[in-house]
Structure 1
Amino acid sequence: MHLEFTDKKLGFKVEGYFSTANYNAKKAITMIFINNRLVDCSPLRKSLEITYQSILPKGNFPFIYISLEIAPDRVDPNVHPNKKEVHFLDQDEIVERICDKLNVFLAGSNSSRSYNVQTLLPMATPDDKGINSSQTNTSQSKTSKSAKVLPQKLVRTDHRSQTLQSMLRRPTGLSGDDLTPGPSNSTEDLISSQMPALSNNSSSQAPQSISHTIKIEESRCLLKSIQDLRQEIKLKNDDDLENLIRYHTFVGVVDTQKGYSCIQHETRLHMLYHFSFCEELFYQLGVRQFGSFDRIQLKPAVPVQTLVTLAVDSEPSEYLDGIGRSHAVQKICERLYSKAEMLDEYFSFQIDPASGTLITLPVLLPEHVPNMEKLPLFLVRVAVECDWTDEMSCFSSFLRELAFFYTPSSLPLESMSEEQIQATDEDEKEQLKQLIFPSMKRYLAPPSDLRNDVKQVTSLPELYKVFERC
């Protein structure tokens, strides 16, 4: 039904198309143009819909298209920040005039009505019922899929997506010739001079393509202590945290020194303390691979006593001064040598007591190499902090120390140049983004203890309350 008229007294022109009394829809469709711009005018829209209530059956709604031409200086577009809501001068009189005209047209078209009735069909056969039910299910699924999601609740990321960069990896370990000790005047220089080159069977000088997440099989172990540790991990698993980690999208590293990163889960942005999550991941990977670790070969092998001396000498302690630092170094080395066979068999942590050298380290996560500057401290902590009196406590405490060693952590910036800090920072961000966080998705069963290390920063609905757009 077409409606068109001009009112010179109120200074407006109207043209529109309206549904008749025979039109039935489950939702009102109202389009309002003012001066050729699609807008919303609540008083006009509501008045037009009320006009239809007297002629349409309950639960049915009209189709309304109306175009108004009004002098621009009589229109106020600043009713709402997004400019969508519009008011104009003499609004009540103009709305009433339009509704009166529409009422006259609808009264003329209401002389006859048509209704849709359902045709009665003969009894359907079982096959027909199956077909009808499948068609109904299909139509319902299409309807549910096409249901419009509000923009403030729309998830715009996919946790399964990956970049081309994630399909490339850098060579594992340190490249170049074997490093040999040289003269040094500081502890930091001595540590760097003693660091070996690392190699394993998968290292290469050129980037190679790898799968997005590396599959790590659980080792077959009959030791009750390890079975109990694996069961303990399952029992402590927090379902909400697991859902957050499993289906997150990595946003970026906030601060490598303080250990904060941001992830997105559905419409929420979270900041987490990634040091804690990384340490728990490496601990669980250690329990998972117990007795079947791959090895990182140290070339050349590193003198254990030299590394222990570095750690002991750099630790300010009156107790160490009292017993003698050289005596403490000797006792620590003796402890490590006495446990060498067990450490090699279960953890691929190979120490040769005859030569007093460290030969191999275990691989917890393929393509990941720990920060070798933490190696001296790691050896001391293994000897001092591990509980060697009980089997389960021994395995658990050693794996905790191993996880601490492999976890990215803050570095002593005062001993590094600006270029070294930047390069190390970029490498750590790359490892977190491309390797560690994807591995968390697949292997981490986060305990409820980590709840305090996750904070929600904001959410899309909260942002829409402020900005009203994405």
Structure 2
Amino acid sequence: MDGEMDVDATDQRGTKRVAESESEDVSKAKRIKALDPDVVNKIAAGEIIVAPMHALKELVENAVDAGSTSIEVLVKDGGLKLLQITDNGHGIDREDLPILCERFTTSKLKEFEDLSSIGTYGFRGEALASISHIAHLTVTTKTANSSCAWRAHYGDGKLVPAKPGQSAAPKATAGRGGTQITVEDLFYNVPTRRRAFRSSSEEYAKILDVVGRYAVHCSGVAFSCRKHGDSGVSISTPVAASTVDRIRQIHGSAVANEIVEFETADKKLGFRASGLATNANYHVKKTVILLFINHRAVESTAIKRAVEQTYSAFLPKGGHPFVYIDLEIEPHRVDVNVHPTKREVNFLNEDEIIEMVCSEVRSKLAQVDSSRTFLTQSLLPGAQAIESLQHDQPISSEAAAAADQERPAAAATPKTPATSKRPYENNLVRTDSKIRKITSMLVPAPSPSQDPSHANAATEPGNLPSDDGLQYETTDRQPLRIALTSIKNLRATVRNDMHNALTEMFASHTYVGLVDERRRLAAIQSGVKLHLVDYGLAGSEFFYQVGLTDFGNFGVIRLDPAPKLVDLLKIAAETERDDHLAQNPQPPSHEDTAIETIFASAAETVAATLIERRHMLDEYFSLQISAEGELCTIPLLLKGYVPSLAKLPRFLLRLGPYVDWSSEEGCFRTFLRELAAFYTPEQLPLPPSRRDESGGDVEDVEQDEEEESFIQTRRAQMARMLEYTLFPALRARLIATTGLLRGVVEVADLKGLYRVFERC
């Protein structure tokens, strides 16, 4: 039939379609050729200038670097048609204009080592070059020493004439001191990118967000931004305006009126943080964070998550804060060159710095917590009386009088509008760290040496967990800055394997209790769902990730007196030999003698390997071995968590055959996996009472009283470490990978239970 497509019946769906240039001879090997410089420059431009807001961000940073005190922004069609920024900075010399838009031309960086002390916004010399490859760029500039301004036009990084037939050299013109950069027809030669923008109003809103961020942060600089053709301005901040006034003009009085100021610093960590945050009277549906690290506007998922968790104790459910953070870190501790648009930065001691900032914000919020204007439902003075009324119990006259005294204060509180809907009970998440835990309902059997009256003392509210006498001391060791490609690749592998829903579940969970020490199961609540978690599997992945993030900067656990390395290895080798013989019961033969020799020599071989590499092990893993073969220290991965030292000999023995010593990346990966296995919580036998009830361990060999006492002590220690150390660390730092899906099982859903009850 005419008009129908001719389809080859032999073609298979999913087969690669051959391009016209390849159809001549497919069998020939394709030659590798260097890309045309124009293609290379356009690729680079597409990475740096993703949208008009990125072009504006680069131009604003250049203007601030030039010492400007006034920056004016003019926008047309969301910046796609026109994006103009005018400043009164130092200007650009006439002699520098010919190479202004060439790639990697900059006045702020001379050597690679300068990156460790960079203190300006721009330093790579790629912003103007990238813009000139995807837009028509015009620069008008005048320095203080110049008698006139100079105007130059650029295309593809080079000077071009304003009109065909004219000279491309910069032309003298009238102008004021400073620089005016005009970007026209952005992405005119990248039609696919240009069509991807949905509306000019949406792009203009993003531009206003960028201008607003720098207008809040850059004190002493006046900002204005308006649309082309409009008489009024969208943003206008005077030079003398304070930070609070700038927030009031840009984000409104509702934010500025509920601001608290915070500031913290630490010389050892090399940082100083200050900022402004809203108190408990203000909340919106979405968190707004203005984060500046070394005066550069960046984004950080870790900081945002930590801030939201900090405010979760002060704001009602669904409420989010406004926070402005100015974080200054010593330049040699920050890597600013990790993202094409410089949207993200890496810095040392990230977790410690975030915790100190959030702790300071938390303390400031607690100081002004009494100024809340809404009624909270927890820990009210009349809660005892109200609870007794709910249970139809008689109430005393004194309690009634106390309740009457509380009523005027509650009546003065603004009431909820009648139009608001009450949430259904099956959507309510009932978790509170102050309420009674499920473990408090399980009364442990008192030991012979324990007073029965104090049997449940550990579960009484208000008792702090024991630290088992652990003591910590700080050292003067400076943190290492690790920039190894192998470590970056391993970190990227973890990020690529991230499971978003599972990571969010761990980040927002509430620990319920320990379920089974033998199968290493614990219960956690996330939202309205209850899950069983294999904390052995989760702990193994967590400690591996800690090894990657803290690589080269571990704490140490000092062994005093230091045992001989070979003695520990012999213990492990003998255990492995006994296990092998138990699994392979055979009559005595020559093979048994060979096996004895193999296991006996294994300890010596592994000891020689570790002693030979002791300097690398000490520098990267804090595993210190003396020249005489004594094990002085082992790495400390998590403060407050003590690994089972009974696993130490086997851990050391496995460092020989199970670590890939032939390649750098393979060595780091396998070593950290073995270290994570050593730190993973071990399986513990059930208590005698539960062992008899379950019937699963009836044939086990009876243990002596000393070993049983040790297991009881370790069981109590493990329960404390899981609740107060490991699971809080999982909530704060774990990136859940897809492999953890098999270690998490949903056992209850509140909505499902309500449906069951409704049918009953």
**Bin of the TM-score, shorter chain as denominator length:** 0.5 to 0.7
1:464 paired residue number: 754
1:224 paired residue number: 485
Which deviates more, 325-334 or 358-367? Answer: 325-334
1: CA distance between counterparts of 2:662 and 2:744?
A: 35
2: CA distance between counterparts of 1:433 and 1:165?
A: 15
Give SS of 2:514's match.
Answer: strand
Deviation at 1:220, TM superposition (A): 3.0
Q: Work out whether residues 658 and 670 of structure 2, in 8 Å CA contact, stay in contact via their aligned partners in 1.
A: yes
2: CA distance between counterparts of 1:166 and 1:293?
A: 31
**Which one of 556, 581, 603 corresponds to residue 295 of structure 1?**
556
Following superposition of structure 1 onto structure 2, how do residues 206-221 of structure 1 map, counting pairs within 5 Å? 220-221=481-482
1:434 paired residue number: 724
1:451 paired residue number: 741
Q: Does 1:419 align with 2:682?
A: no
Q: Does 1:374 align with 2:671?
A: no
2:509 paired residue number: 248
**Which one of 467, 488, 492 corresponds to residue 170 of structure 1?**
467
**Which one of 570, 577, 582 corresponds to residue 309 of structure 1?**
570
Deviation at 1:446, TM superposition (A): 0.9
2: CA distance between counterparts of 1:325 and 1:222?
A: 39
**Which one of 426, 430, 444 corresponds to residue 156 of structure 1?**
430
User: How many equivalent residue pairs?
Assistant: 296
2: CA distance between counterparts of 1:165 and 1:455?
A: 31
**Which one of 586, 603, 607 corresponds to residue 329 of structure 1?**
603
- Aligned letter for 1:406? Y
Q: Deviations over 1:182-240 (max 9, x none)?
A: xxxxxxxxxxxxxxxxx6427xxxxxxxxxxxxxx996311111111122222211100
Q: Deviations over 1:295-327 (max 9, x none)?
A: 111110011111111111111337871643322
Q: Work out whether residues 515 and 523 of structure 2, in 8 Å CA contact, stay in contact via their aligned partners in 1.
A: yes
Give the alignment's Cα RMSD to 1 decimal: 3.5
Following superposition of structure 1 onto structure 2, how do residues 30-49 of structure 1 map, counting pairs within 5 Å? none
Q: Deviations over 1:381-405 (max 9, x none)?
A: 1112111011011011111111111
- Aligned letter for 2:669? S
Q: Work out whether residues 684 and 715 of structure 2, in 8 Å CA contact, stay in contact via their aligned partners in 1.
A: no
**Which one of 221, 237, 250 corresponds to residue 498 of structure 2?**
237
Q: Deviations over 1:324-382 (max 9, x none)?
A: 3322221111111112111001111001132x110001110012121100000000011
Give SS of 1:324's match.
Answer: helix
1: CA distance between counterparts of 2:521 and 2:738?
A: 19
Give SS of 1:264's match.
Answer: strand
2:522 paired residue number: 261
Give SS of 1:251's match.
Answer: strand
Taking structure 1 as the reference length, the TM-score comes to 0.57
Give SS of 1:262's match.
Answer: strand
For the structure 1 residues 155 and 391, does the alpha-carbon distance in structure 2 shift closer, same or farther, using more than 3 Å as the test?
same
2: CA distance between counterparts of 1:421 and 1:258?
A: 15
1: CA distance between counterparts of 2:626 and 2:545?
A: 27
Q: Work out whether residues 219 and 289 of structure 1, in 8 Å CA contact, stay in contact via their aligned partners in 2.
A: no
Q: Work out whether residues 622 and 633 of structure 2, in 8 Å CA contact, stay in contact via their aligned partners in 1.
A: yes
Q: Does 1:401 align with 2:674?
A: yes
For the structure 1 residues 442 and 364, does the alpha-carbon distance in structure 2 shift closer, same or farther, using more than 3 Å as the test?
same
For the structure 1 residues 416 and 457, does the alpha-carbon distance in structure 2 shift closer, same or farther, using more than 3 Å as the test?
farther
Following superposition of structure 1 onto structure 2, how do residues 91-240 of structure 1 map, counting pairs within 5 Å? 146-158=420-432, 170-171=467-468, 173=470, 200-201=472-473, 220-240=481-501
1: CA distance between counterparts of 2:463 and 2:669?
A: 32
Q: Work out whether residues 249 and 264 of structure 1, in 8 Å CA contact, stay in contact via their aligned partners in 2.
A: yes
Unaligned runs of 5+ in 2: 1-251, 256-282, 285-318, 320-415, 438-460, 582-590, 687-700
For the structure 1 residues 396 and 468, does the alpha-carbon distance in structure 2 shift closer, same or farther, using more than 3 Å as the test?
same
Q: Deviations over 1:70-118 (max 9, x none)?
A: xxxxxxxxxxxxxxxxxxxxxxxxxxxxxxxxxxxxxxxxxxxxxxxxx
Identity of aligned residues (%): 33
Deviation at 1:416, TM superposition (A): 6.1
For the structure 1 residues 160 and 407, does the alpha-carbon distance in structure 2 shift closer, same or farther, using more than 3 Å as the test?
farther
- Aligned letter for 1:449? G
- Aligned letter for 1:294? G
Taking structure 2 as the reference length, the TM-score comes to 0.36
Q: Work out whether residues 221 and 227 of structure 1, in 8 Å CA contact, stay in contact via their aligned partners in 2.
A: no
2: CA distance between counterparts of 1:382 and 1:161?
A: 45
Q: Work out whether residues 252 and 263 of structure 1, in 8 Å CA contact, stay in contact via their aligned partners in 2.
A: yes
- Aligned letter for 2:467? R
Q: Work out whether residues 268 and 458 of structure 1, in 8 Å CA contact, stay in contact via their aligned partners in 2.
A: yes
Give SS of 1:277's match.
Answer: helix
Deviation at 1:159, TM superposition (A): 7.7
2: CA distance between counterparts of 1:267 and 1:385?
A: 42
Give SS of 2:488's match.
Answer: helix
1: CA distance between counterparts of 2:435 and 2:656?
A: 43
- Aligned letter for 1:244? M
Give SS of 2:512's match.
Answer: strand
Q: Deviations over 1:392-451 (max 9, x none)?
A: 110111111111111111147855643333222111111000100000011100101111
1: CA distance between counterparts of 2:604 and 2:685?
A: 27
For the structure 1 residues 162 and 362, does the alpha-carbon distance in structure 2 shift closer, same or farther, using more than 3 Å as the test?
farther
- Aligned letter for 2:541? E
Deviation at 1:256, TM superposition (A): 1.2
Q: Does 1:345 align with 2:595?
A: no
2: CA distance between counterparts of 1:450 and 1:270?
A: 13
Q: Work out whether residues 225 and 392 of structure 1, in 8 Å CA contact, stay in contact via their aligned partners in 2.
A: yes
2: CA distance between counterparts of 1:378 and 1:345?
A: 19
2:546 paired residue number: 285
Structure number with bigger Rg: 1
2: CA distance between counterparts of 1:275 and 1:455?
A: 14
2: CA distance between counterparts of 1:220 and 1:144?
A: 58
Q: Work out whether residues 625 and 631 of structure 2, in 8 Å CA contact, stay in contact via their aligned partners in 1.
A: yes
Give SS of 1:384's match.
Answer: coil
For the structure 1 residues 166 and 304, does the alpha-carbon distance in structure 2 shift closer, same or farther, using more than 3 Å as the test?
farther
Deviation at 1:468, TM superposition (A): 4.8
Give SS of 2:635's match.
Answer: strand
- Aligned letter for 2:714? T
Q: Work out whether residues 521 and 533 of structure 2, in 8 Å CA contact, stay in contact via their aligned partners in 1.
A: yes
Q: Work out whether residues 332 and 380 of structure 1, in 8 Å CA contact, stay in contact via their aligned partners in 2.
A: yes
Give SS of 1:326's match.
Answer: helix
Following superposition of structure 1 onto structure 2, how do residues 22-37 of structure 1 map, counting pairs within 5 Å? none
Q: Which has the higher contact order (CA 8 A, sep 6+)?
A: 1
Q: Work out whether residues 200 and 297 of structure 1, in 8 Å CA contact, stay in contact via their aligned partners in 2.
A: no
Q: Work out whether residues 159 and 248 of structure 1, in 8 Å CA contact, stay in contact via their aligned partners in 2.
A: no
For the structure 1 residues 360 and 322, does the alpha-carbon distance in structure 2 shift closer, same or farther, using more than 3 Å as the test?
closer
2: CA distance between counterparts of 1:339 and 1:146?
A: 67
Q: Work out whether residues 293 and 348 of structure 1, in 8 Å CA contact, stay in contact via their aligned partners in 2.
A: yes
For the structure 1 residues 145 and 397, does the alpha-carbon distance in structure 2 shift closer, same or farther, using more than 3 Å as the test?
farther
Q: Work out whether residues 159 and 247 of structure 1, in 8 Å CA contact, stay in contact via their aligned partners in 2.
A: no
2: CA distance between counterparts of 1:172 and 1:324?
A: 41
